[in-house]
Amino acid sequence: MKTDHPQRPRRNFYGRFKGKSLKQSQKIYLDEDLAALAPGAVDWDSNPDRLPLDLNGLFDGKPVWLEIGFGGGEHLVHQAASNPDVGIIGAEPYINGVAMLLGKIRRAGVENLAVHPGDVRDLFDVLPDQSVAKAFLLYPDPWPKKRHHRRRFVTQEHLEPLARVMKPGAIFRVATDIPDYVRQTLEEVPKAGFEWLAEGPTDWRQPWDDWISTRYEQKALREGRVPHYLTFRRQG
């Protein structure tokens, strides 16, 4: 049961927590695997004083990466398998996506992942300052209606705490197929203390060398939308 805490901020959440019914195997993944993959006490009930996570203990001192909204988990597992010397936290409130990720983790056998099945803003509360070496925001919810643009991740409500937890020089990658999301990203991310690293059009038209195309990108391509790949560096 959720309890009130005098410091708990009011945070509206506009996405989905659950979709269609889970498969029996996915229910098993959630029951058997999710608790062991928690990065620590993140939610307000288990950590009302917002004590910082012990990332050194969690990942044995490895550099920490963060994926915000990992969808079905393809990219997250790919990066974990390709970078065993890194610890990666994935945050995703959509429980169906979390269940899909857990199945992929089992099949891939990766052990350098932690999973927060909830709002990344709660995770930002407990991540230590300057603790994240790389972050990913890949095909976030576009909220296409103009009156909903304030719900997008690329607003200062989200970008300022992201900047706080990222190391100086850390890389922030954004992928989207929505031109107006590109516009808002290029306007808002630099305001939070990031530098766009593009030197020419190929820098945002071509995917990163270690990229794996996600199911969301494949859908965008089938529907004729053009992916954009934006790379920023945390200043400071």
Contact predicate 176/236, CB 8 Å: no
Give the pLDDT of residue 178: 94
The pTM of this model reads 0.91
Domain 28-234 = CATH 3.40.50.150: yes
Average pLDDT, stretch 41-67? 95
Instruction: Check pLDDT > 50 for residue 161.
Output: yes
Set 4, 54, 85, 141: catalytic member: 141
Q: At 14, is the pLDDT very low, low, confident or very high (cuts 50, 70, 90)?
A: low
SS3 annotation, the chain: CCCCCCCCCCCCCCCCCCCCCCCHHHHHHHHHHCHHHCCCCCCCCCCCCCCCCCHHHHHCCCCEEEEECCCCCHHHHHHHHHCCCCEEEEECCCHHHHHHHHHHHHHHCCCCEEEECCCHHHHHHHCCCCCEEEEEEECCCCCCCHHHHHHCCCCHHHHHHHHHHEEEEEEEEEEECCHHHHHHHHHHCHHHCEEECCCCCHHHHCCCCCCCCCHHHHHHHHCCCCCEEEEEEECC
Give every CB contact of residue 128 below 8 A, 6+ residues apart in sequence.
52, 53, 55, 165
Active site residue 141: yes
Give the pLDDT of residue 150: 87
Q: At 1, is the pLDDT very low, low, confident or very high (cuts 50, 70, 90)?
A: very low
Tens-place pLDDT, residues 19-37: 567 788 888 888 899 999 9
Tens-place pLDDT, residues 206-218: 999 999 999 889 9
Strands 87-91 and 113-116: parallel
Give the pLDDT of residue 16: 52
Contact predicate 158/121, CB 8 Å: yes
Instruction: Check pLDDT > 60 for residue 3.
Output: no
Q: How big is the chain by its Cα radius of gyration, in Å?
A: 17
Contact predicate 205/176, CB 8 Å: no
The C-alpha atoms of residue 103 and residue 106 are separated, in whole angstroms, by 5
Instruction: Check pLDDT > 70 for residue 230.
Output: yes
Tens-place pLDDT, residues 182-211: 999 999 999 999 999 999 888 899 999 999
The C-alpha atoms of residue 16 and residue 25 are separated, in whole angstroms, by 21
> CA 94 → CA 80, 141, 184, 197, distances in Å?
20, 12, 24, 31
